[in-house]
Structure 1
Amino acid sequence: MDPIDLRYGDNSRLGGADITISLTPTQYEAIHDEVENLGGWLHAALWALARLRTHEDTAGHPYISGPNDWHVAINTLDKHLLPRLEGIRDAMIRTHANAGGSLQNLATSMDVSRSTAQYRRDRVLKGKDRPSTWENWATGDLRIDPQDVSDR
């Protein structure tokens, strides 16, 4: 069974598309405290992407964004979603290395050159203040209040 379900048009709640991401009970238990916030932040990213491409408001009317219209989206992406995605990626790089993964395999996985993969892996494994706060969050070694990101 596919863990992602897409419903389009009249089959969706707002007439455009619904994206449903399903988790097993074990997966949900591991991340249940973060599911609602992560879903909201992912929605903000998709909303901003659509707004950038359509130049329309949520009712479908033409809209020219002003400088104050992007505060929430920028803050959501910069302070909430991106640090967590980077933490997940870094935890995966560390786990890959600890499992004996080769640099060539990492490079292939990241679709980068071997030297770039080595640089990124070295940054994760040997960089200052590592593992990072968000890498620790990703592995469950640190619980972070979703709103408490101002000092991270």
Structure 2
Amino acid sequence: MSVSYTRGKDARKGGLDITLSLTPAQAEALGPDADDLGDWIDTALWALALLRSGQGTDGPHTAGPNDWSITIGDLDVLLLPRLEALRDAAVRAHAQLGGTYGQLAAAMNTTRSTAQYRRDALLAKEPTELEQWAAGISPTR
């Protein structure tokens, strides 16, 4: 996967285009989840721009309670749990491949003992349904 950025007058709306390019194998592995994740990340960027500047991705916008309810739902109910499950699946894969606590601590920007505690706690339980989704085992959407 690669990310490219087009800025200014060359961007479709004159600001910034962010393009994520997937290989055919990556696109097939992600399936419709790529569309869902892209939508939720778009919501996150829209909300961040609106909070910082008062402008959404389409220009000035006064957000109402419904806008924020949709944003909160996309982020809290849909995106964040999947990101956490992806992180957990990555920690589990790292451990299965012989990754060390020191490497994990560096990746998590924490102490070795904290990384050890987090990994050991994760490995002591079965993968959640969303972690299985992240690993491609469960079709949960």
Normalising by the residue count of structure 1, what TM-score does the alignment of the two structures yield? 0.84
Aligned to 1:131: 127
Q: Is the 8 A contact 2:49 2:57 kept in 1?
A: no
Of residues 78, 85, 88 in structure 2, which corresponds to 1:87? 85
Q: Is the 8 A contact 2:4 2:19 kept in 1?
A: yes
Deviates more, 1:41-50 or 1:112-121: 112-121
Counterpart Cα distance in 2 of 1:123 and 1:139 = 19
Counterpart Cα distance in 1 of 2:61 and 2:30 = 39
Structure 1 residues 35 and 76, CA gap change in structure 2 (3 angstroms): same
Divergent runs of 4+, >6 A: none
Aligned to 1:49: 48
Identical-residue share of aligned pairs (%): 48
Normalising by the residue count of structure 2, what TM-score does the alignment of the two structures yield? 0.91
Deviation of residue 122 (structure 1)? 1.9
Q: Where do 5+ consecutive residues of structure 1 fail to align?
A: 147-152
| 2:90 maps to amino acid | M
Deviation of residue 59 (structure 1)? 5.1
Deviation of residue 8 (structure 1)? 1.0
Deviation of residue 88 (structure 1)? 0.8
Structure 1 residues 59 and 90, CA gap change in structure 2 (3 angstroms): closer
Aligned to 1:149: none
Q: 1:54-102 CA deviation, whole Å, 9 max, x = no partner?
A: 1235554374x55443101100001111111111110010011111111
Q: Is the 8 A contact 2:129 2:138 kept in 1?
A: yes
| 1:30 maps to amino acid | A
Deviation of residue 109 (structure 1)? 1.1
- What is the RMSD of the two structures over their aligned residues, measured on CA atoms? 1.8
The structure in which a higher percent of residues are strand is 2
